[in-house]
Amino acid sequence: MYPPNPRHPRSISSAIKMIRFFNEDTPYKLPQKQAVRQWLKNQAGQEGFAVGELNYIFCSDEYVLQINKDYLDHDYYTDIITFDQSEAADKIEGDIYISVDRVADNARQLNVSAEQEMHRVLAHGLLHLCGYGDKTNEEAAAMRRKEDEWLTAWNS
């Protein structure tokens, strides 16, 4: 079960099939939204998936922490939580919650731009929906390689 969000109720949005961006409790503005949408669709296509309804929700550390507690029984901060709503094996649908606070902190720690780190996290969530995991060292390494590959495609 995914957390309900009144800004994108499924009963209204089910006819709209696209990648959409929302803000929950933080005023984040994603640059180049249309180009990012196309990049994500292209990368999903390279993995053999079509994108249906995909919602990215930008929010605070506290908002993501509460989702982590309420829906995943985890009590820690994270940069991203992905809820898979896909019904067809070759079509991606879901909700991806991104902590803007955590992304900014990660960017500082990794000595990369906040925009580059946001693109990595956007890719990370979609890669989860493509079937990539990150629980084991091997999965995490494969995820990182794919993130790097996708970031290369974004930057080219």
The rounded distance, in Å, linking the Cα atoms of 22 and 105 is 21
124 annotated binding-site participant: yes
Query: 3-state DSSP call for residue 116?
Result: helix
The rounded distance, in Å, linking the Cα atoms of 100 and 64 is 10
Q: Tell me the β-bridge partners of 58.
A: 23, 98
**How many CA within 13 A on the CB side of residue 75?**
0
In this structure, the chain runs to a length of 156
Residue with tokens 């940069």: 79
Query: Quick one: tokens of 6?
Result: 């009144």
119 annotated binding-site participant: no
70 annotated binding-site participant: no
The rounded distance, in Å, linking the Cα atoms of 104 and 101 is 5
Q: What are phi and psi of 55, to 5 degrees?
A: -115, 125
Binding site for Zn(2+): which residues? 124, 128, 134
Binding site: which residues? 124, 128, 134
